Each structure stands twice: as C-alpha cells, then as structure tokens.
C-alpha cells in the first residue's frame, strides 16, 4: 500500500522521540502481561502437580481397576481376591484410607491411616528408617505425622476407636443405644516400628499418614458404622505391560471376575487413570482458583488500559504541532489515525513480549527457589511452555494497548491543519458528560445497593450461595455506576478536599482549581487508583471482619482457651490442679458431663460447673455469671426446641431425683445446658465424662498447649488436650496469609495506577506551558510551581484513595454481612492499619508522581508567556 | 543589511524632561546561537526610560524590540552589557532574585492576556500579591477596578469576558502590586481597533492619573501615538526617539526605518524625530 510506508516510517520516527514516555506506558503493559503469563504458567504447574500426586497415589501399579461410578458400586473383599487370582495378575491392593484419633501422650488428634500393602510396589510410601509394621499393633509414620505427634521409633501411641453394636447402621430406632447398647470407645496401643517418606506428597494435604498393615486397616474400616467404599484397585502384574494399553484379554478377564456386582468395571493403565482423575479435578477447585487469579489479572489489565489511554493523550498533546504540520502538507486524517494505532501496536507487542518473557523467567525462578521451602509436594523442575501460555499474554497485551489507544487516536485526527499556524491548546476529548451517563450510573448504584441489601438478608436467612451471587452482583453494579459517574462527582470531591488546603496559599489554590479544569482526565486518573484501593480495602475489611467474627464465634462456641478430657474419674482433682499450675495457665475449672431429662425430653447432655470457677475460666464471663443454683443456661436453639423461654421453670430429672430450674438464655453454645454441680448432684451421680477448662494468660497459646499436654499425660495417659486459642491463632494466620497474597496481587494494580498519575500530571504540564510561564512572569517562584504540582498529585491520588477506602469498607462490610452470617453474629471490623497504610502509600506516591512533571514545569522560561513563539 | 538610523553606543538615548530613570540599558547585547548560526538580536543598546511616563518601543518584526523588553524585565539573560531597574542591576541576578524582582517591582501585560481561566477576574488581579504572600491594598484595588471600568466584571471568569475586558483585568493584575514599571507586550495585538483604543487609553490614564511607569512594545504606530515617547529600534540597535508621537510621526519613523537610505531619518517627520544621525 503506497500510503502505509511513509506512515510507518513516520510512526517509528515519532516513537524514537518519545521513548521515555512510551517506556512508562510500556511498564504498565509489561506488568499486566507478566501477571497473565505467571497466572497461566502457575495454572499449568498446579495441574501437573495435581496429576503427579494422583499418579503417585497409584504407586508402581501397572493397572487400575475402577468400579463403575454411575452405579455407585464398590469392590468387596471377595472381588479383591478374585482379581488377584486372574491369570497374569501379581498382587492387588485396594485404594483405601481410614482415619481415627491417634495420640502420643496429650499430643495428636485426628490422623489419616494408609495401608501397607503386601507388595511394596503398591505403596507410594518409602521406608526410610526401621521396619514396616507387620502386626495389628504396629505402625509406621510419615515425617509430618511423626513431627506432629513428636514420636520416634519405639514409642507407644494410643489409638481410640468407637465400636458400635452390630446392626447399628441398619437400626431405624430413634435411639439405637436403647435397643442395641451403648457404642464402646476402645483404646489400643500401637508401637512405632518405622518411619516412611512420602516423596510424592500423596498424604501431604491430609497432614501426613500413619501406615498400618493393609489387613488391619481393612478390618478397622469394616468395623465402622459407615465403612468407606473401595472403588479402585491397584494391580501389579506378573510382567509389566508391553505398551501403553491394557491387553483386551486381561481387561475382559478382570471385568468378568468382578462382574458379579452387575456393573461394568473399567480397567485402565495407571497413566490413563491418573489423567482421567486429574481432568476431573481441574473442573473443580483449580478452575475456581484460576478464575479467581484471572480476575485480578483482568483488574490489572483494565487499569493498565486507563494508563495507556492517558499516556497516548500526552503523546498526542506533545505532537500537536507535528501532527498539524503533517495535515497541512497533505496527510489524511485516516493516516494520522493509523499511525497512532500502529504505534500502539508496536508498543503493545514489544512490551507484551518482554512481559511474557519476564513472567516465564519469574515462574521458572520461583520453581527453582520453591524446593528450599518444605512444600511436602514435589513440583515440576521446569515450566511447561504451551502455545496458550505464550500467545495469550502477547495477544491480550497487544489488543488491550491498541484498544486503549483508540480514543487518543481519534483525538489526534481532530488536530486541525490550522494548529500548525497558530498556538493552540492541546486536543482534548470532548468533555461531554451526558445525562444518559448520569441516569445509567444512578440506576446502577441504586440497583447495586439494593442487591447488596438483598444479599445480606439472604445470607442472614441462610441461603448463602444465592446471597453471595446477589452480593457479588451488587458490588459489580455499584462499582460500575460509581466508576461510570466518576467524571461527574470525583473532581468536585477533589475540590472539596482541596478546600482544606487552599487557605495555605495561592499555589495550593491554583492546584485545586487545576484539578477541576479537565474533569474527565482527573476522574480517569483518580479512578485507576480508586479501583485498586477499593479492592485492597474490600479484601482487608472482609478479612478483618471474618477474623473478628470467627474469633467472636470461637469465644462463644469455645469460651475456654484449652480443654483437657479426663478419662478416669479418680484423676479429675489431680488433673485440675496440674492444669492450673501449668505455666501460662491462669485458671482451671472442672466441667462434668451427665445425661438427664429436661422436662419430657430424655437424654439431654448436661454440663455442670462451679459458677465462680467458670467465670474465671471462660472468655465470656458475663454469660457465665448468669449461672446460679436453681438455674439452667440454655442456648436459644435448645430453648426453642424444648419450647422454653427465658424465666420459665422446667423440671430436670434423672436417677437421683428431680429439680425445678429457671431457664436463662445464653449466647454461648458451649454453655448450653449448664447447671451448678449442686443441682446436678440432685439429679444424677452418673457422669459421662469430665473436662478441665483452662484459661491462658498472655503467653503464646502454642507453647502453653505444649506445657499442658506434657503435664496432662503424666496424670492420665489417655487425656486429650485441645486448645481453641491455638486453633484461633492458626486460623488468624491462614486469613493473614490469604489476605497478604490478595493484597500483593492488587498492589500490582495500584503501582500501574500510579504510573498513570505521573502521566496525567505530565500532560497537564505540557498543556499549561504558557500558563506556567505567565505565573513565573508575574512572580511565582520555582518552588511554588513545584508545590502546586505536588498538591495536584496528592489531591488526585488522595481522592482516589479516600473514596476507594470508603467504598471498600462498604463493600467489605456488606460482603461480610452476607458471607459471614453463617458463622453467627457478624462483627464489622475496620482494618485501621491497612487503611492507614493504603492512604499513606497513595499520598506519598501522588507526591512522588509530581516530581518529574514539576521539574519540567519549573524549567519553563517566563518568556514563553509572552509570544506565540 | 545596514540600518538607516544609528545611535552611537556612547550616546545613550536621552530621557526628555530630566525625570528619574525607571529603567536603563547600557551596552545591552544579546546573541542567540553559535558559530554560523549566530543571530545578533541586540547589539550594544543604550537607552533610558523615565519614571511616571508611558514609553513605546517600536520597530519592525525581528528588530529586537521584544528581546530588549525580555532583558529589561529580567525574563531573559543578556550576553553582555547591563540593565538596571531603578538602582538595581538586574543583569546577573539569579533566578530567585529575578522572581522576587518580577513579583515586587515589575508588572506584565501580555498580547494574549494570559489570564488563568479557572479564576475569576478578581482572583486573577490579586494573584501576584498572593504569590508574594502579601495582603491586597483594598483602596488601591478599588481605584484600579474603578479606573479600568471592570468593577461589575469582578466575579466573572475570563471566558465570560470580552477581549478588551480581559486585557483591562490583565492591566489591573499588572498594577496591583504597585510595581516600579509595567511592561506591555503588544497589548492590543489580539484586540479589535475599538477595544484596542480603550485599552491604550486606560494605559495612558494609569500613567497620568495613577502615576505608573509603562513600557509598551508595539509595531503599531497608532498604538505608539498614545505614549509620551516612542523609542525606535531596528536590527538590534536604537534607531530613533520620538517624543509625544502622533500616529503620523510614528508611522513616518517606522517608514524611515524601512527605507534603506540613511537620509530618510531626517525626512518629513523630523520635527518630532530625534534621529541619532541628525
């Protein structure tokens, strides 16, 4: 095409002259493409890792036999033996785990058990020390489990299992215990015979495994009321498969063998089975994770687009003269338009290519560093570059750049040829602020707020999923409306805030007036920052509220810091004294459990505790103070189910007699059905269990927990010590880590937005050269001029940050009201530290963003005010 | 190209009436560029401007009249020579001192008014005093807006004012700090002839009634006719001096500069033209 060549040459020439400014826009594109690239590559790594873990759980088996999923059939012990008998099959191991409570002294708790197959090829574990367990009272531990239990080879562990009377599962009686007898809790000893590595991290997610002989595990599983089904069999063949498929003869033979179940079992190679299972996984959690991270990438991209639009407007403003001259000598508007878009495309390709490269290198670097941290799961050594992980960021980055340059390109075509002949103000986008914009945004905001309210009330009513959809929609609508209408109100808010500083002199007053001159640009720049700050604040507020709510709930549900269960009644007094004297424990109280009837309702689980002791121990002393002789604490739910209300009198009866107690409603579920020991004694003297509740003062909950575990097991070998305080601390830690990651992701968006503030100020400086010169001529000093731009930068950034914080708080709270109501009374927290930090960063960044443009402005000679030259 | 009128460097253009000198130039020289591309914008100019008078600097475009004004106002630095504002030598002052000087002792009126579009007329007028951190002399402010006839326009923004009104606001801005001298750069260049005439009358009134000193750069003889004196400049040198110029005498002086023969300087308008060569 004849016309395109000069355009291209011209474009490249222009780009050479504007490298600095193009670089700043390029950084915005680069950061967002790095984001996209890392996300895609990380997604691949997660998938690969998930697949590896699944494949590893199949160990070195050759073939996997899977039960038909649709008919929900499973394999019986006979099936396993039948498959093992098939010609060519070496050994068979059902894929099964079991879990129970395993303790070493007071340490431990819920533990996953893995089978030790007769054929070591069929276990993903590798013995690292000692011997595999050979008998029912032996166990081997993975490092994670051994660490948690603080167990070594030769230690004796205690396992507790609940044995239910025969026919329990089938019983249709309301109270099977009455017919069949009480379930029995048995304690058994297990000797640690060996330690086993889990090189592929198969059991990492479960916190490690305790390995016991396969037969023992099957027996324990079978003894459960609801045993786990065996749906997969690992099969080791006599001779390995020759190629990547299962011989039809073998497949048919196995299917015929297990055909008795009436369902069609599938026989696959291990590889094929792993791939099938992983693709099932990817449809679930991984997709949600990717969508989640991609949403952040999209936010970064959107903000980068705003920055690019502003940057190109700066460029067009700088080139007004040149563009007009081109038009004068015959360049068509379409040529100018194409030239700008070509420039954007070149910038987009270069920056995106760099971004993709850096993203790939960063991910690779992360993979190389990661093994230094104990992840427990083996991750790939190198990234796998797929066409989509390269093409997608490149295409997204480039297309976004070109799209963002469309509006500036249009404004470039509006440069009149005449502008070459006379001094002219830079072209600006028409400042049309239509009524349609106002109407649409008001509707969006009102609708959004309505949706937020609906979400909160739905969440309160218990329909969490629908409520969340409404809340997310509400946030999206409100936010859209606010961003859309930003041009209408944001500059005014800036002026309002600016009014606070205008008294301090003419330079601030000029700055405030300046922010109002190009409302559209001020709005666009502030909005870029506003989006980032809103999301950061929303996340921190949501997290802080979640934390406060859960702690409040933990306080009510578990009003004690730690609890020690005593299995032998004779040890109760000793245990209470031992716990009370443990370092870090400030008070201990005995809580006795017993069964009694409240009114006509049999078998209610009563607690009895001395009111004074209880007040000293619990975190909700005001609730505990309500307890007195002659009263019974009931939670609202229990009271409702018994048709009782506060102040009602109800008979409580048991083997020893009946006593009339006054109902007191308590907000703490843990204090539900609590009476005084004196009242309990009048009703029954049979106790179903005893706990010691302890109050931790000041010290690290984890350390105190360790102390108490040590002491408690010296008193009672089977005592189980649990700490809500330690649990709350670890929950807080999880929330903090998740929050940290999200804020980190959003910080990228904030950084991009700040590049935009610099560009906006530069554009203003270019457009106001003459004005700056006039101010200098009538006596403004360089310092005053710089001060003026600093105030402008701080104002633009500050308004974005302040409004963002207000919005974020609103969104965070309404989201919390919806999502957290399942956890009980929602606590609306304000994350003061995070908010102060966000505001501080925004203000300082606004100040920094003004430095370069202010230097350019201060260089303006006052002579420039005088003539057209 | 040779100039028609020539003033020797050792004979400064005299200030008639023996009034105190507001502004003086001594051997003021300004060259732009280097080597081959050197342009001699001012070539050893000596000139005095009296206090309390309205002086026009006239010359064809490229004569150096704007450069002269930039140097006298401390907007640009001289290559050599000296410029004085009262007793202060402004050549050699640093940027800070020049800023203070402009703020306290010099006022400017620009061809394109250069009002700040986001401020009202009143805010524009008081801006120089505010930049200096001072307080506005209310009586002086009232006198100015009264004299300039912009009292009813004080709350308007520049966009709502006519060109003439804008320039009158600009004049008030230039005078608000009671500067020693006001420099006006082609103040009527962007105005129609009626508004132009009005603005020039106001400038003359501020000199006659308010006692200000104004130096105006113009190429328009009819504008120069409002001044008490016109200094002619050509090719970077003082080329003539007309006291109480009329449109005709000013035109004749300019014409004389455009004519190549030196004799023209003593042409028909010699009655009021103090040609240096005479």
- HEC letters along A392-440: HHHHHHHHHHHHHHHHHHHHHHCCCHHHHCCCCCCCCCCCCCCHHHHHH
Contact B102 A782 (CB under 8 A): no
Spell out the SS3 assignment of A206-227.
HCCEEEEEHHHHHHHHHCCCCC
- pLDDT tens digit sequence for B224-238: 999 999 999 988 899
Any residues with CB less than 8 A from the CB of B65 and at least 6 apart, and which?
B57, B58, B59, B217, B219, B233
> Closest approach of chain A CAs to the CA of B269, in angstroms?
31
CB distance B277 to B5 below 8 Å = yes
Q: So what's the pLDDT on residue A806?
A: 92
Instruction: Output the average pLDDT for chain A.
Output: 80
Inter-chain residue contact B95 with A861, CB threshold 8 Å: no
Q: Which of A271-275, A447-451, A677-681, A739-743 has the lowest mean pLDDT?
A: A739-743
pLDDT of A655:
85
In percent, how much of chain B has pLDDT > 90?
29
CA torsion, points A229, A232, A233, A234, in degrees to nearest 10?
Answer: -130
The C-alpha atoms of residue A457 and residue A389 are separated, in whole angstroms, by 42
Which pair of tokens denotes residue A352? 């995106």
Six-digit token pair at A230? 């065996």
**Helices within A192-332 (DSSP H only):** 214-222, 248-257, 270-281, 287-318, 320-328
Fold of B52-69+104-267: Rossmann fold (3.40.50)
Domain ranges in chain B are: 52-69+104-267
Span A733-745, pLDDT tens digits? 666 776 677 677 6
Query: Residues of CATH 2.40.40.20 domain(s) within chain A?
Result: 568-718
Contacts of B100 in chain A (CB under 8 A): 779, 781
- Provide the 3-class DSSP secondary structure of residue A97: coil
The pLDDT value given to residue A867: 58
Is B28:B69 a contact under the CB 8 Å cutoff?
no
- Which one, of B209, B192, B24, B217, lies nearest residue B110 by Cα? B217
Report the side by side order of strands in the sheet with B21-32. B39-50, B21-32, B80-85, B88-89
Q: Which of B96, B110, B136, B185 to mutate to test the interface with A (most CBs of A within 10 A)?
A: B110
What are B168's two structure tokens? 């009158």
Do the chains contact at B130 and A771, CB–CB below 8 Å?
Answer: no
Q: What pLDDT score was predicted for residue A465?
A: 73
CA distance to partner chain A, nearest, from residue B50 (Å):
22
Q: Which residue of A has its CA nearest to B110?
A: A866
As a whole number of angstroms, the distance between CA A314 and CA A526 comes to 16
Query: Is A414's Cβ below 8 Å from some Cβ in B?
Result: no
**And the tokens for B4?**
């028609």
Q: Do B75 and A861 touch (CB under 8 A)?
A: yes
Q: What share of chain B is helix, strand, coil (3-state, %, to 5)?
A: 40, 25, 40
User: Which pLDDT does position B11 carry in this prediction?
Assistant: 43
β-strand A585-598 against A184-197: which pairing, if any? unpaired
C-alpha span between B162 and B191 (Å, rounded): 9
The answer on pLDDT for A2 being more than 50 is no
Closest approach of B99 to chain A, Cα-based (Å): 5
CA distance A735 to B209: 78
Question: CA–CA separation, A354 vs A26, rounded Å?
Answer: 10
Interface test with B, best of A519, A778, A783, A861 (most B CBs within 10 A): A778
**Per-range mean pLDDT, top range of A23-27, A642-646, A710-714, B200-204:** B200-204
For residue B228, give both structure tokens. 């008490």
Please state, in angstroms and rounded to a whole number, the distance separating the CA atoms of residues A795 and A53: 52
End-to-end CA distance of chain A: 38
A510 touches chain B (CB under 8 A): yes
Chain A residues with beta carbon closer than 8 angstroms to that of B127: 506, 778
| Cβ pair A777:B75 closer than 8 A | yes
Interval A211-227 mean pLDDT: 86
State whether CATH 1.10.3720.10 applies to domain A568-718.
no
CB contact under 8 A, B118 and A517: yes
A778:B127 CB<8 A: yes
Check CB contact under 8 Å for A781 and B110. Answer: no
Q: How confident is the model at residue A637 (pLDDT cuts 50, 70, 90)?
A: confident
Secondary structure (3-state) at A488? helix
Is A834 exposed, middle or buried (CB count within 10 Å of its CB: 0-12, 13-18, 19+)? buried
Q: Which residue of chain A is at minimal alpha-carbon distance from B132? A: A779
More confident residue, A496 or A347: A347
Which residue in A has a C-alpha nearest to residue B133's C-alpha? Answer: A505
If you write DSSP's letter for every residue of A534-561 in order, what string do you get?
A: HHHHHHHHHHHHHHHHHHHHHHHHS-SS
Q: Which residues have CB under 8 Å from B11's CB, separation 6+?
A: B46, B276
Give the model's pLDDT for residue A55.
Answer: 81
At residue B216, does pLDDT exceed 90?
A: yes
Residue-level pLDDT at A845: 82
Q: What pLDDT is attached to residue A441?
A: 87
- pLDDT at B31 > cutoff 70: yes
Q: What is the mean pLDDT of residues A17-33?
A: 80
Residue B162 in this model has a pLDDT that exceeds 80: yes
Mean pLDDT of A552-556: 70
Q: What is the pLDDT of residue B14?
A: 47
Contact B133 A505 (CB under 8 A): yes
Supply the DSSP symbol for A121: G
In contact, A584 and A867? CB cutoff 8 Å:
no
Whole-angstrom Cα distance, residue A7 to residue A323? 12
- Reduced to 3 states (helix: H, G, I; strand: E, B; else coil), residue B158 is helix
Quote the tokens at residue B68.
């002269």
Look up residue A785 and give its two tokens: 């001029």
Task: Return the closest-CA partner of residue A27 out of A536, A848, A751.
Answer: A751
The verdict on A782 touching B (C-beta cutoff 8 Å) is: yes
Nearest CA distance, B266 vs chain A (angstrom) = 33
Chain A residues with CB under 8 Å of B96 CB are: 781
Q: How confident is the model at residue B7 (pLDDT cuts 50, 70, 90)?
A: very low
Summarised one tens digit per residue, pLDDT across range A418-470 is 665 554 444 444 445 567 788 888 998 999 899 888 888 887 777 777 777 78
Query: How close, in Å, is residue B41 to chain A by CA atoms?
Result: 15
Model confidence, pTM:
0.64
Nearest chain A residue to B116 by CA: give it: A771
Local confidence band at A345 (pLDDT 50, 70, 90 cut-offs): very high
- Whether the per-residue pLDDT at B201 is higher than 80: the answer is yes
pLDDT of residue A192: 92
The predicted pLDDT at position A376 comes to: 59
Is the CB of B107 less than 8 angstroms away from the CB of A778? Answer: yes
User: Do the Cβ atoms of A663 and A632 come closer than 8 Å?
Assistant: yes
* A787: closest CA of chain B, how far (Å): 12
Minimal CA–CA distance to A807: which of A548, A529, A546?
A: A529
* Beta carbons within 10 angstroms of residue A365's beta carbon: 11
Weakest mean pLDDT among A10-24, A785-799, A826-840, B188-202: A10-24
Query: CA–CA separation, A562 vs A727, rounded Å?
Result: 10
Mean pLDDT estimate for chain B? 82
Using the predicted structure, report yes or no on whether residue B254 has a pLDDT greater than 90.
no
- DSSP letter for B219, please: S
What does DSSP say about strands B214-218 and B181-185: parallel, antiparallel, or unpaired? parallel
- The CA-atom distances, in angstroms, between A544 and each of A473, A477, A813 are 22, 24, 10
Q: Provide the residue count of chain B.
A: 278
In A422-461, the residues whose Cβ lies within 8 Å of chain B are: 423
User: In this complex, do B75 and A781 lie within 8 Å of one another by their Cβ atoms?
Assistant: no
- Closest residue on chain B to A869 (Cα): B66
With beta carbons under 8 A apart, name residues in chain A contacting B131: 506-507, 775, 778-781, 784
pLDDT at A244 over 70: yes
Predicted local distance difference test score (pLDDT) of residue A868: 46
Instruction: Using an 8 Å CB-CB cutoff, list chain B residues near A516.
Output: 118
| Predicted confidence (pLDDT) at residue B5 exceeds the cutoff of 70 | no
Could you read off the pLDDT of A683-728 as tens digits, one per residue?
Answer: 888 887 888 888 887 667 777 777 787 777 777 767 777 776 666 6
Q: Tell me which of A50-64, A203-217, A735-749 is least confident.
A: A735-749
φ, ψ of residue A397 to 5 degrees: the values are: -60, -45
Task: Please name the residue of chain B whose CA is at the shortest distance from the CA of residue A862.
Answer: B75
**Nearest-CA neighbor of A619 among A555, A547, A564, A670?**
A555
Question: What kind and span of H or E run contains A157?
Answer: strand A156-163
Beta bridge partners, A66, equal A232, A266
Q: Which residue has the higher pLDDT, A263 or A44?
A: A44
CB contact under 8 A, B185 and A867: yes
Sequence-distant (≥ 6) Cβ neighbours of residue A712 within 8 angstroms: A105, A106, A564, A575, A578, A579, A719, A721
Alpha-helix residue ranges (DSSP H) falling in A642-690 = 677-683
Q: How far is A768 from chain B (nearest CA, A)?
A: 10
Q: In this predicted structure, what is the pLDDT of residue A735? A: 67
Residues A59-68: what's their mean pLDDT? 83
Q: Are B55 and B83 in contact (CB under 8 A)?
A: no
Q: Tell me which residue has tokens 């103090």.
A: B274
* Residues in A touching B117 (Cβ below 8 Å): 517
Residue B24 has what pLDDT? Answer: 92
Question: In the numeric block, which tokens belong to residue A113?
Answer: 């058990």
Q: A261, A221, A753, A809: which is closest to A524 by C-alpha?
A: A753
Q: How confident is the model at residue A350 (pLDDT cuts 50, 70, 90)?
A: very high
Q: Looking at the partner chain, which of B95, B114, B173 has a beta carbon nearest the beta carbon of A865?
A: B114
Residue B260 has a pLDDT of: 43
Q: B221 CA to chain A: closest CA distance, Å?
A: 20
Query: CA dihedral defined by B146, B150, B152, B157, rounded to 10 degrees?
Result: -150
Of A513, A516, A862, the CB nearest to B75: A862
Query: Residue B65: in which H helix or E strand, if any?
Result: helix B65-72
Which phi and psi (to 5°) does residue B2 adopt?
A: -75, 150
Test A505 with B95 for CB contact under 8 angstroms.
no
At residue A568, what are phi and psi to the nearest 5 degrees? -115, 120
Contacts of A513 in chain B (CB under 8 A): 116, 118-119
CA A47 to chain centre: 18
Q: Are B4 and B259 in contact (CB under 8 A)?
A: yes
Residue B111 to chain A, least CA–CA distance (Å): 7
CB contact under 8 A, B108 and A777: yes
| Minimum-distance CB partner of B102 among A506, A514, A778 | A778
User: Are the C-beta atoms of A632 and A678 separated by less than 8 Å?
Assistant: no
pLDDT of A13 above 90: no
């Amino acid at each position: 095409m004849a016309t395109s060549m000069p355009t291209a040459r011209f474009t490249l020439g222009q780009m050479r002259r504007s490298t600095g400014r193009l670089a700043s826009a390029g950084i915005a594109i680069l950061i967002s493409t790095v984001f996209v690239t890392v996300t895609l590559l990380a997604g691949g790594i997660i998938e690969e890792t998930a697949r590896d873990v699944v494949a590893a759980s199949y160990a070195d088996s050759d073939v996997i036999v899977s039960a038909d999923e649709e008919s929900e059939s499973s394999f019986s012990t006979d099936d396993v033996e039948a498959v093992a008998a098939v010609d060519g099959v070496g050994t068979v191991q059902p894929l099964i785990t079991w879990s129970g409570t395993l303790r070493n002294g007071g340490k431990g708790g819920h533990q996953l058990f893995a089978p030790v197959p007769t054929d070591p090829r069929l276990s993903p574990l590798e013995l690292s020390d000692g011997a595999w367990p050979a008998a029912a009272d032996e166990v081997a531990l993975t490092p994670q489990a051994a660490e948690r239990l603080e167990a070594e080879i030769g230690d004796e562990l205690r396992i507790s299992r609940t044995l239910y009377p025969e026919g329990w599962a089938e019983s249709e009686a309301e109270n099977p215990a009455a017919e069949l007898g009480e379930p029995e809790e048995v304690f058994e000893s297990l000797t640690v015979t060996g330690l086993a590595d889990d090189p592929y991290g198969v059991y990492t997610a479960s916190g490690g495994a305790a390995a016991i002989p396969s037969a023992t595990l099957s027996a324990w599983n079978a003894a459960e009321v609801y045993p786990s089904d065996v749906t997969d069999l690992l099969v080791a063949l006599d001779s390995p498969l020759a190629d990547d498929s299962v011989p039809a003869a073998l497949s048919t033979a196995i299917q015929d063998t297990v055909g008795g179940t009436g369902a069609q079992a599938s026989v696959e190679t291990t590889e094929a089975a792993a791939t099938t299972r992983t693709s099932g996984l990817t449809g679930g959690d991984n997709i949600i994770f990717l969508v989640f991270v991609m949403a952040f990438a999209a936010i970064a991209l959107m903000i980068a687009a705003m920055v690019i639009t502003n940057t190109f407007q700066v460029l067009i403003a700088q080139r007004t003269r040149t563009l007009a001259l081109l038009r004068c000598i015959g360049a068509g508007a379409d040529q100018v338009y194409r030239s700008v878009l070509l420039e954007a495309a070149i910038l987009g390709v270069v920056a995106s290519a760099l971004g993709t490269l850096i993203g790939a290198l960063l991910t690779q670097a992360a993979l190389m560093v990661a093994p230094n941290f104990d992840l427990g799961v083996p991750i790939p050594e190198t990234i796998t570059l797929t066409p989509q992980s390269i093409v997608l960021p490149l295409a997204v980055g480039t297309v976004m750049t070109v799209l963002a340059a469309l509006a500036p390109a249009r404004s470039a075509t509006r440069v009149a040829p005449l502008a070459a002949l006379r001094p002219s103000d830079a072209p600006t986008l028409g400042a049309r602020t239509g009524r349609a914009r106002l109407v649409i945004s008001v509707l969006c905001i009102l609708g959004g707020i309505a949706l937020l309210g609906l979400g909160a009330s739905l969440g309160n009513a218990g329909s969490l999923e629908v409520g969340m959809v409404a809340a997310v929609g509400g946030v999206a609508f409100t936010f859209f409306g606010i961003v859309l209408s930003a041009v209408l109100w944001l500059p005014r808010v800036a002026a309002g805030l600016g009014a606070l500083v205008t008294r301090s002199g003419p330079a601030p007053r000029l700055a405030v007036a300046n922010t109002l001159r190009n409302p559209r640009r001020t709005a666009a720049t502030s909005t870029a920052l506003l989006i980032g700050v809103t999301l950061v604040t929303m996340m921190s507020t949501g997290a802080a509220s979640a934390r406060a709510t859960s702690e409040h709930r933990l306080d009510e549900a578990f009003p004690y810091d730690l609890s020690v269960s005593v299995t032998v009644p004779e040890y109760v007094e000793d245990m209470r004294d031992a716990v009370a004297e443990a370092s870090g424990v400030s008070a201990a109280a005995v809580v006795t459990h017993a069964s009694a009837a409240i009114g006509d309702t049999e078998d209610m689980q009563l607690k009895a505790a001395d009111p004074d002791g209880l007040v000293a121990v619990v975190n909700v002393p005001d609730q505990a103070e309500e307890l007195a002789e002659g009263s019974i604490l009931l939670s609202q739910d229990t009271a409702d189910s018994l048709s009782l209300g506060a102040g009602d009198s109800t008979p409580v009866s048991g083997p020893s007699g009946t006593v009339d107690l006054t109902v007191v409603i308590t907000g703490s579920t843990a204090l539900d059905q609590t009476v005084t020991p004196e009242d309990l004694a009048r009703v029954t003297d049979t106790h179903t269990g005893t706990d010691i509740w302890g109050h931790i003062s000041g010290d690290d909950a984890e350390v105190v927990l360790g102390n108490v575990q040590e002491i408690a097991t010296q008193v009672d070998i089977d005592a189980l010590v649990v700490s809500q305080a330690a649990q709350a601390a670890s929950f807080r830690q999880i929330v903090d880590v998740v929050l940290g990651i999200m804020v980190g992701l959003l910080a990228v968006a904030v950084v991009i937005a700040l590049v935009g503030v610099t560009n906006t100020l530069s554009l203003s400086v270019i457009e106001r050269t003459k004005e700056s010169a006039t101010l200098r001529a009538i006596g403004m000093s360089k310092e005053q001029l710089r001060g003026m731009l600093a105030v402008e930068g701080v104002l633009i950034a500050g308004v974005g940050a302040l409004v963002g914080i207000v919005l974020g708080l609103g969104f965070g709270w309404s989201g919390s009201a919806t999502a957290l109501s399942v956890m009980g009374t929602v606590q609306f927290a304000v994350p003061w530290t995070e908010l102060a930090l966000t505001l501080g960063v925004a203000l300082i960044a606004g100040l920094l963003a003004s430095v370069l443009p202010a230097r350019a402005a201060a260089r303006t000679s006052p002579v420039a005010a005088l003539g057209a030259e | 190209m040779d100039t028609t009128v020539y003033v020797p460097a050792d004979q400064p253009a005299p200030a008639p009436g023996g009034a105190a000198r507001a502004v003086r130039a001594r051997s003021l020289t300004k060259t732009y560029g280097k080597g081959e591309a050197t342009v001699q914008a001012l070539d050893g100019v000596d000139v005095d401007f009296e206090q309390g008078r309205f002086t026009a600097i006239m010359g064809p475009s490229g004569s150096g009249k704007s450069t002269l004004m930039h140097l006298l106002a401390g907007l640009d630095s001289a290559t050599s020579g000296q410029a004085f504002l009262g007793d202060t030598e402004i050549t050699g002052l640093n940027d800070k001192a020049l800023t203070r000087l402009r703020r306290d002792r010099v006022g400017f009126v620009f061809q394109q008014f250069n009002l700040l579009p986001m401020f009202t007329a009143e805010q524009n007028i008081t801006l120089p005093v505010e930049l200096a951190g001072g307080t506005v002399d209310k009586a002086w402010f009232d006198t100015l807006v009264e004299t300039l006839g912009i009292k009813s326009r004080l709350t308007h923004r520049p966009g709502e004012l006519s060109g003439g009104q804008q320039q009158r606001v600009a004049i008030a801005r230039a005078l608000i700090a009671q500067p020693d001298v006001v420099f006006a750069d082609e103040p009527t260049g962007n105005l129609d002839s009626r508004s132009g005439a009005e603005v020039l009358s106001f400038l003359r009134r501020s000199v006659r009634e308010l006692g200000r000193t104004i130096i105006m750069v113009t190429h328009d003889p009819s504008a120069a006719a409002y001044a008490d004196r016109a200094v002619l400049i050509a090719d970077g040198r003082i080329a003539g001096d007309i006291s109480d110029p009329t449109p005709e005498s000013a035109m004749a002086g300019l014409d004389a500069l455009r004519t190549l023969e030196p004799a023209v300087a003593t042409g028909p308008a010699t009655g009021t033209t103090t040609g240096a060569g005479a």
